[in-house]
Structure 1
Amino acid sequence: MGVRIKLRRVVQLSFFLFSIYTWWRFYLFVKHFDEGTEFVPRPVSIEAYLPIGGLVSIKNTLLNGYIDPIHPAAMVILSAIIVSAIFLKRGFCGWICPVGTLSEAVSFVGEKILPRIRVPEFVKVIKYGLMAFFLLTVLMMDRYEVAAFLQTPYWAIADVKLLDFWLNPGTLTIIVTSLIVLLTLFTRNLWCRYLCPYGAFLAIFSFLSAFKIRKTNCVNCKACDNVCPAGIKISEKKEVSSPECIACYDCIEVCKTKGLYMDFLDKRVRKEVYVAVLLAILFGFVIVAKVTGNWDSALTYEDYERLMKIRKFVTH
Structure 2
Amino acid sequence: MELNGARNFLNNHLRRISQLFFFAITAYAWIRLYLFVSHFDYGTPYVERPTSIEAFLPIGALVSLKNLIQNGFIDPIHPAALVIFTSILLTAVLLKRGFCGWVCPIGFISEVVTKTGERLTGKVMLGSRYLAVIKYLLLAFFLYLILPMDAASTAAFLFSPYWAIADVKLLDFWLKPGTLTILVTGLIVIATLFVRNVWCRFLCPYGALLALLSYLSPASIKKSDCVGCLRCDETCPSGLKPSQVDEMKSPECIMCFECVKSCPYGYLTPAIAGKSVRKELYALAIAGIIFGFFVVAKLTGHWETALTYADYRKLMPIRHLISH
**Under a length normalisation based on structure 2, what TM-score does the superposition of the two structures give?**
0.96
From 34, 43, 53, give the equivalent of 2:60: 53
1:205 aligns with 213
Q: In 2, distance between residues paired with 1:2 and 1:38?
A: 42
Tell me by how many angstroms 1:295 deviates.
0.3
8 A contact 1:223–1:254 mirrored in 2: yes
Secondary structure at 2:221's aligned position in 1?
Answer: strand
2:238 aligns with 230
8 A contact 2:126–2:196 mirrored in 1: no
2:148 aligns with 140
1:83 aligns with 90
1:106 aligns with 113
1:176-195 matched pairs, under 5 angstroms: 176-195=184-203
1:173 aligns with 181
1:312 aligns with 320
8 A contact 1:224–1:250 mirrored in 2: yes
Secondary structure at 1:207's aligned position in 2?
Answer: helix
Tell me by how many angstroms 1:18 deviates.
1.2
1:113 aligned partner, one-letter code:
L
8 A contact 1:5–1:250 mirrored in 2: no
8 A contact 2:79–2:305 mirrored in 1: yes
Q: In 1, distance between residues paired with 2:273 and 2:86?
A: 24
8 A contact 2:61–2:85 mirrored in 1: yes
Q: In 1, distance between residues paired with 2:17 and 2:304?
A: 28
Deviations 1:192-245 (A, max 9, x none): 001111100111110000011110121010000011011101111111000000
Q: In 1, distance between residues paired with 2:58 and 2:274?
A: 34
Q: In 2, distance between residues paired with 1:313 and 1:184?
A: 35
User: Which segments of 5 or more consecutive residues in structure 2 lack a partner in the other structure?
Assistant: 1-7
1:128 and 2:136 matched: yes
1:20-39 matched pairs, under 5 angstroms: 20-39=27-46
1:246-257 matched pairs, under 5 angstroms: 246-257=254-265
Q: In 1, distance between residues paired with 2:90 and 2:10?
A: 29
Secondary structure at 1:261's aligned position in 2?
Answer: strand
Cα RMSD, aligned residues only: 0.9
% same residue: 55
Q: In 1, distance between residues paired with 2:227 and 2:10?
A: 24
8 A contact 2:114–2:124 mirrored in 1: no
2:302 aligns with 294
Deviations 1:104-133 (A, max 9, x none): 000001011115334211111101100111
2:233 aligned partner, one-letter code:
D
2:145 aligned partner, one-letter code:
T
2:82 aligned partner, one-letter code:
M
8 A contact 1:103–1:189 mirrored in 2: yes
1:116 aligns with 124
2:23 aligns with 16
Q: In 2, distance between residues paired with 1:118 and 1:244?
A: 13
8 A contact 2:52–2:80 mirrored in 1: yes
8 A contact 1:26–1:43 mirrored in 2: yes
1:216 aligned partner, one-letter code:
S
From 44, 47, 56, give the equivalent of 1:40: 47
Q: In 2, distance between residues paired with 1:254 and 1:117?
A: 19
User: Which segments of 5 or more consecutive residues in structure 1 lack a partner in the other structure?
Assistant: none
Segment of structure 1 superposing worse, 113-122 or 15-24: 113-122
From 273, 277, 284, give the equivalent of 1:265: 273
8 A contact 2:91–2:286 mirrored in 1: yes
1:107 aligned partner, one-letter code:
T
Q: In 1, distance between residues paired with 2:52 and 2:126?
A: 37
1:283 aligns with 291
8 A contact 1:88–1:278 mirrored in 2: yes
Tell me by how many angstroms 1:256 deviates.
1.3
Q: In 2, distance between residues paired with 1:102 and 1:120?
A: 21
8 A contact 1:149–1:155 mirrored in 2: yes
Q: In 2, distance between residues paired with 1:176 and 1:211?
A: 35
